[in-house]
């Protein structure tokens, strides 16, 4: 067992605010797990609205006794969406102690620089070294390769006051209350990553395993692990298995974030993923971002008491 991860502390509560996701619905009702943003404030319906985009950003707060820590997990797609929603929701980003980037794709890094600028202070950022790969491509069936924009540029980040912490192994934040998994071990036979992803290294094009994919894990007292994924390019089941392995905690209380089960390449593994979730038995399942409608629908059908529909502005209380 990794010596650092042996020191992962229990927390008494976890709060996750969905600052950015692919979907927004202001008419959703509260539930024991989810508090939805109000439709009106002071009797007035606002003349502005929360924005959704193909991106993810989560404000994660953990508490134990009088101690409280907050980090930001991912930064959405555009430069405007996250900060716009922060204003609408009345969130205080000044409480953020650190930022974690799940991987280097643009839909998780887009508002990083505007966010840091708004803070007006230097802030640590945990990121896998491969997130800095300059040339990444998404392959099409006709052979074309679409280049991903490079949003994480080391010198720009340092100039912006970002303290870069490059780590591929597990690490702890929030005074030992939040675990960043680092590179996720891949053990399932059906989760094979993004097959049409490639990268350029040393002048040669090769498959991109997206090794920078990482997640968060939190030990919720008397309930088990809360696992929060970005896109789960490693596979959401691999991510849960790895979180269990490196913490030594077998019980899973909640799994939320992007499960990456959207589209013809991934929809065939939806049922295998659901079968594994039935073995894991989380009490809370909140698929987000790149999970895709077909998978979200199946999770809602198979886990009616555990499933919660994600929406921008939702506060998840665990």
Specify whether the CB–CB gap between 30 and 24 falls below 8 A. Answer: no
Q: Give the tens place of pLDDT for each residue, 33-65.
A: 999 998 877 788 888 899 999 999 999 999 999
Question: Which pLDDT band holds residue 5 (cuts at 50, 70, 90)?
Answer: low
Q: Give the tens place of pLDDT for each residue, 57-103.
A: 999 999 999 999 999 999 999 999 999 999 999 999 999 999 999 99
CATH of domain 10-41+51-317: 3.60.15.10
Residue in 182, 159, 178, 160 with CA at minimum distance from that of residue 170: 182
Q: What is the mean pLDDT of residues 18-33?
A: 96
What is the CB neighbour count within 10 angstroms for residue 137?
Answer: 17
Position 1 scores a pLDDT of 46
Residue tagged 């980003």 (tokens) = 93
Residue 62 CA to residue 79 CA, distance in Å, equals 27
39 or 11, higher pLDDT: 11
Specify whether the CB–CB gap between 12 and 61 falls below 8 A. Answer: no
Residue in 186, 311, 176, 174 with CA at minimum distance from that of residue 256: 311
Which residues pair with residue 174 across a beta bridge? none
Position 46 scores a pLDDT of 83
What lies within 8 Å, CB to CB, of 247 at 6+ separation is 5, 8, 179, 217, 219, 225
Helix (H, G, I), strand (E, B) or coil at 236: helix
Q: Give the tens place of pLDDT for each residue, 251-276.
A: 999 999 999 999 999 999 999 999 99
4 or 129, higher pLDDT: 129
41 or 126, higher pLDDT: 126
Helix (H, G, I), strand (E, B) or coil at 6: helix
Q: Which of 86-95, 193-202, 214-223, 260-269 has the lowest mean pLDDT?
A: 193-202
The mean predicted confidence, pLDDT, of the chain is: 94
């Amino acid at each position: 067992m990794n010596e650092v991860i042996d020191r992962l502390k229990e927390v008494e509560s976890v709060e996750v605010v969905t600052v950015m996701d692919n979907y927004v619905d202001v008419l959703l009702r509260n539930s024991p797990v989810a508090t939805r943003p109000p439709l009106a404030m002071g009797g007035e319906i606002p003349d502005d609205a929360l924005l959704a985009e193909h991106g993810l950003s989560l404000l994660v707060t953990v508490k134990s006794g009088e101690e409280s820590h907050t980090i930001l997990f991912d930064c959405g797609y555009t430069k405007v969406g996250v900060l716009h929603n922060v204003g609408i929701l009345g969130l205080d980003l000044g409480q953020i102690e650190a930022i974690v980037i799940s991987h280097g794709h643009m839909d998780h890094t887009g508002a990083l620089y505007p966010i840091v600028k708004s803070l007006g202070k230097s802030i640590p950022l945990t990121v896998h070294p491969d997130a800095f790969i300059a040339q990444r491509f998404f392959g099409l069936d006709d052979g074309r390769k679409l280049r991903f924009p490079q949003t994480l540029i080391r010198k720009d980040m340092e100039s912006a006051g970002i303290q870069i912490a490059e780590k591929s192994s597990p690490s702890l934040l929030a005074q030992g209350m939040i675990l960043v998994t680092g590179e996720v071990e891949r053990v399932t036979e059906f989760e094979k990553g993004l097959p049409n992803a490639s990268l350029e290294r040393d002048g040669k094009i090769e498959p991109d395993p997206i090794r920078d994919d990482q997640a968060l894990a939190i030990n919720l007292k008397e309930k088990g692990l809360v696992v929060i994924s970005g896109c789960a390019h490693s596979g959401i089941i691999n991510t849960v298995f790895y979180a269990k392995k490196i913490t030594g905690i077998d019980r899973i209380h909640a799994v939320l974030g992007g499960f990456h089960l959207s589209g013809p390449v991934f929809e065939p593994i939806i049922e295998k993923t659901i079968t594994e979730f039935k073995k894991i038995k989380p009490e809370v399942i909140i698929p987000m971002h790149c999970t895709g409608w077909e998978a979200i629908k199946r999770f809602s059908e198979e886990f009616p008491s555990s499933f919660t529909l994600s929406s921008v502005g939702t506060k998840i209380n665990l």
